[in-house]
Amino acid sequence: MTETFEPVVIGFTCNWCSYRAADMAGTARMKYAPNIRLIRLMCSGRLDPTFVLKAFVGGADAVMISGCHPGDCHYVEQNYKALRRFHLLKRVLTQMGIEPGRLKLVWASAAEGAIFADTVNKYVEEVRALGPLDWPAKNLESVSTPIMEEVHA
């Protein structure tokens, strides 16, 4: 019998929309995969790309970034900054040999608990199909860039 691979996904949520969507999924007892572990930021704009790299270095198999829908940001437009960093990160990750599918961006309003739960479920399955990243074991020694040094610091 082979053990199913249970990926670990780190989820970054914003205080106003997506964390509240997760709250709502909870209050409504919607069920989703236990593979995601959430971090609450005030805004998706707070997401320093280093956080994502840190998660991969620490052994996460994927990272999900979530924020308010475009136009709905509690801080007017900071989720657009998250969107920019998301695209930038995808390119950087690809260059580092990490599949772009290991990073996901999802917009979820405070009312969209169902969307949040559904997205997590689908994403966990996608990551499961990608298999373990195991980046620390594979790459920790071989990668030595200024970014990585900062991450390790």
Partner 1 sequence: MSEKIGVYVCHCGTNIAGIVDVADVSQWAGEKLAANGVVISRDYKFMCSSLGQELIQKDIQEQGLTRVVVAACSPHLHEKTFRNACQGADLNPYLCELVSIREQDSWVHTDKVAATEKAKAILSGGVARVEHHEALEPLRVPIHPDTLVVGGGIAGIQAALEIADAGFHVYLVEREPSIGGHMAQFDKTFPTLDCSACILTPKMVDVGNHPNITLLTWSEVQKVDGYIGNFVATIKQKARYVKIEDCTGCGICWEKCPKKVVDEVFEAGLGNRKVIYTPFPQAVPKYPVIDAPNCTYFLKGTCKACEKFCPTGAIDFNQQDEEITVQVGNIILATGYDLFDVRRMPQYGYGRLANVYTSLEFERLGNAAGPTGGNIVLRDGKTVPKAVGIVHCVGSRDQNYNPYCSAICCMQSLKFAHLVHERTGAEVYNFYIDMRTPSKGYEEFYQRLLEEGTHFVRGKVAEVTNLARIPEEEGKLIVQVEDTLIGKQRRIPLDMVILSAGIQARHDAKEVGKLFGISCSADAWYIERHPKLDPVATMTDGIYIAGCAQGPKDIPASVAQGAAAAARVLGKIQQKEISLEPVRATVIEEHCSGCRICNDLCPFSAILYLEDKKVSEINPALCQGCGTCVAACPAGAISGTGFSNEQILSQIEGLLLLNIRQLEAVPA
Select the residue interacting with partner 1 from 7, 18, 32, 90 (CB under 8 A). Answer: 32
Select the residue interacting with partner 1 from 7, 18, 62, 85 (CB under 8 A). Answer: 85
Q: Rule CB under 8 A: say whether 76 interacts with partner 1.
A: yes
Select the residue interacting with partner 1 from 18, 45, 103, 106 (CB under 8 A). Answer: 45
- Contact, 104 vs 38, CB < 8 A? no
Select the residue interacting with partner 1 from 55, 62, 106, 127 (CB under 8 A). Answer: 55
Select the residue interacting with partner 1 from 7, 17, 18, 105 (CB under 8 A). Answer: 17
Q: How near is the Cβ of 138 to partner 1 at its closest, in Å? A: 16
- Contact, 14 vs 112, CB < 8 A? no
Q: Rule CB under 8 A: say whether 135 interacts with partner 1.
A: no
Q: Rule CB under 8 A: say whether 29 interacts with partner 1.
A: yes
Residue ranges of alpha helices (H) inside the chain are 18-27, 49-57, 78-95, 113-130, 135-139, 146-152
Looking at 18-26, 88-96, 126-134, 140-148, which segment touches partner 1 (CB under 8 A)?
18-26
Q: Rule CB under 8 A: say whether 88 interacts with partner 1.
A: no
Residue of 48, 45, 50, 47 whose CA lies nearest to 146: 50
Burial 90-119 (b: 16+ CB within 10 A, else e): bebbeeeebeeebbbbbbbbbebbebbbbb
- Contact, 117 vs 32, CB < 8 A? yes
Question: Within its chain, how far is the Cα of 59 from the centroid?
Answer: 13
At how many degrees (to 10) do helices 78-95 and 49-57 cross?
A: 40
Residue ranges that bind partner 1, judged by CB under 8 A? 6, 8, 10, 16-17, 19-20, 22-23, 25-27, 29-34, 37-43, 45-51, 54-55, 58-60, 71-72, 74-78, 81, 85, 109-112, 117
